[in-house]
């Protein structure tokens, strides 16, 4: 059995608790031994268990499904559970909380409150005049239509697209790619009876589909590789015809 030790890596994390008056934003440096296949999720748990029990960050699934562990990693928004420490050749990693969301503490931000508000804003539920009879089989949906809806439903609401969005920096009320993707998801859903005019009322302004500057930050950084710019362009073409 090999006794070869892994290299030493340095993780620098922002620490700040906005709920404590005496707290000031500052960086704390942690040095630890890298292990084979180590992700930032594993490294952060090691830090909290052995070096700093006060360090706050979010995680649930550790498999890139829940979207909880989004943070700024060397200046880019990424999921900590899908980022290998071996990717950084110099072994130096800087961590910051994602912008665009309310800071809770250290690396933890409140994406949930923003996503809940977004869901209400775009009326994220099926609008249909049909009464559902659970005793009967659901109405048949063609596989192609179902797949189009499922493709957009892969969004895990991690907030990375917002953290990477230049428009969001300038327009705090911008709905972002995640909100426009949600609108596109219901637009293609055959169960939803809303018209283009209905969607225009929701996102037909500069804080919606017409505010996007197509900088591609959302699609470039999306951990699920969603066709965000394609769908934003699709909704823009559809809604601009109503002007």
Mean pLDDT for back-to-back runs of 10 residues, the chain (243 residues):
76 97 97 97 97 96 93 98 97 97 98 97 94 85 93 96 94 96 96 96 96 93 96 94 85
Considering only CA atoms, which of 127, 128, 174, 179 is closest in space to residue 152? Answer: 179
Q: Mind listing the pLDDT tens digit for each residue in 22-68?
A: 999 999 999 999 999 999 999 999 999 999 999 999 999 988 999 99
- CATH 1.10.1060.10 range(s) for the chain read 139-240
- 126 CB neighbour count, 10 Å cutoff: 13
Residues of the chain with CATH 3.10.20.30: 8-109
pTM: 0.92
From the options 2.40.50.100, 3.40.50.300, 3.10.20.30, 3.90.1640.10, give the CATH code of 8-109. 3.10.20.30
- Count of CB atoms situated within 10 Å of the CB of 222: 23
* Alpha-carbon span 62 to 183, nearest angstrom: 28
Q: Where are the alpha helices (DSSP H) in the chain?
A: 40-46, 111-121, 143-152, 160-163, 166-170, 176-188, 196-203, 217-221, 228-240
What the block records as the tokens of 29 is: 């440096």
Give me the half-sphere count of Cα atoms (radius 13 Å) on the Cβ side of residue 197.
0
- Secondary structure of residue 78 in the 3-state scheme: strand
pLDDT for the residue numbered 1: 40
Buried b (16+ CB within 10 A) or exposed e, 109-123: bebeebbeebeebbb
Q: Does domain 139-240 sit in CATH 1.10.1060.10?
A: yes
| CA pair distance 218, 53, nearest whole angstrom | 33
């Amino acid at each position: 059995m090999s006794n070869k030790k892994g290299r030493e890596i340095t993780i620098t994390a922002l620490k700040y608790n906005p709920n404590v008056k005496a707290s000031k934003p500052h960086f704390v440096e942690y040095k630890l031994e890298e292990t084979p296949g180590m992700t930032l999720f594993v490294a952060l748990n090691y830090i909290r268990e052995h070096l700093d029990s006060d360090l706050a960050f979010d995680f649930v699934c550790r498999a890139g499904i829940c979207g909880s562990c989004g943070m700024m990693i060397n200046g880019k928004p990424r999921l900590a559970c899908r980022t290998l420490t071996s990717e950084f050749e110099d072994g130096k990693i800087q961590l910051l909380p994602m912008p665009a969301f309310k800071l809770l503490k250290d690396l933890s931000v409140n994406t949930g409150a923003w996503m809940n508000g977004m869901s209400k804003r775009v009326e994220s539920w099926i609008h249909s005049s049909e009464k559902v009879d659970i005793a009967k089989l659901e109405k048949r949906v063609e596989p192609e239509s179902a797949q189009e809806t499922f493709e957009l439903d892969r969004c895990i609401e991690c907030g990375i697209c917002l953290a990477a969005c230049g428009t969001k920096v300038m327009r705090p009320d911008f709905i972002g790619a995640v909100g426009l993707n949600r609108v596109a998801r219901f637009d293609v859903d055959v169960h939803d009876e809303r018209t283009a005019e209905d969607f225009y009322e929701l996102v037909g302004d500069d804080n919606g589909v017409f505010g996007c500057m197509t900088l591609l930050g959302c699609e470039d950084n999306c951990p699920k590789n969603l066709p965000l710019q394609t769908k934003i362009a699709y909704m823009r073409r559809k809604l601009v015809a109503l002007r």
